[in-house]
Amino acid sequence: LRPRRAVKLIVYRTGLSSPVGEALLAAANAGKEVTAVIELRARFDEAANIDLASQLQSAGAKVVYGIVGFKAHAKLLLVVRREAGKLRRYVHIGTGNYNTKTARAYTDFGFMTSDDEYGRDVHSLFHQLTSLGRGGRLKKLIQTPFDLHDRLITWIRQEATNAREGRKARIMAKMNSLIEPEIIRELYEASQAGVKVDLIIRGTCCLRPGIPGVSENIRVRSVVGRFLEHHRIFHFHAGGDKLTYCSSADWMPRNFFRRVEVAFPIGGKKNRERVLHEGLEVFFEDNMDAWDMQPDGTYVRAGAPAGSDVGGDEELVSAQMVLLEQLADEGR
């Protein structure tokens, strides 16, 4: 611990007796500069967060409660160390909470890097959350409530333009809920332009797929298996540039306009292919835990014959089990 200079973390849901909380307390007691942005209104964890805030303050940590009127829902960790006479930033950005219980039951993605551009962006976000709340100019990250909604609208419209001009166009996304009206309208427009749109929405979805003349190029699937599918991913073909992001935000008004959220790009072909495979593509092969939304908003089990809600005769495939087997093979 001796070379470490500072630790900064957003605490949304940590749970009681959290190893993350214990690590923050240990760092503060060791004399390190600890800053915790604690969201006291985190659902189900209000009491745990209040208790952690009191303990951290007693240990000498700086505790702040975000920006008035906006929930701090982003998943960010920043560690600053002095190495070889220079300060170096290590960053973790995720789609899920730093919570031991949900980490065992939810599926999420996390990204750890010492890349300086990410480090400067995350440092800027913590400065924003602990000072006047003014948005900074970010190079890598996209933040709500400032620009994520507008950026998504722009990218969806660009896919529609590409499709009208005869170029390849594709949108894939995964999230817990899709209810933001303007995003839904733009997805309908993209479908009508010929864009293939594949969505995995675990929970509430106000979009209706497969309606002739409206959304026939959109399919919506919900996967309910052993683990709760919690990560948020969106991918745009973007004329071959292939923009892939993970995020803490669902496509809901509260996430776009009333919360502090972050979306982060997945760079590099290998990383992008892994995120797309593990988070999206394999779930469209699932015919065991997957349910396809119909134009009337009802769901039918994937692979079920017409008029039935049970699967067909083909071999059953569970995406979650496939991924578990792949991870087990990699560990052998």
Q: Per-residue pLDDT tens for 165-219?
A: 999 999 999 999 999 999 999 999 999 999 999 999 999 999 999 999 999 999 9
**Matching CATH topology for 4-139 and 148-295?**
yes
Once rounded to an integer, what is the mean pLDDT over residues 89-103?
A: 93
Confidence at 306, pLDDT banded by 50, 70, 90 = low
Domain edges within the chain: 4-139, 148-295
pLDDT value, residue 2: 47
Instruction: Provide the CATH topology of domain 148-295.
Output: Endonuclease; Chain A (3.30.870)
Going by CATH, does the domain composed of 4-139 fall within 3.30.870.10?
Answer: yes
pTM beyond 0.95, yes or no: no
Active site residues: 73
Q: Render pLDDT for 135-167 as a digit per residue (tens, 0 to 9).
A: 678 999 999 999 999 999 999 999 999 999 999
- Of 67, 62, 64, which is closest to residue 133 (Cα–Cα)? 67
Query: What DSSP designation does 51 have?
Result: H
List Cα–Cα distances, 239 to 53, 69, 161, in angstroms.
47, 38, 10
Task: With H, G, I as helix, E, B as strand and everything else as coil, classify residue 123.
Answer: helix
Contact 251, 176 (CB under 8 A): no
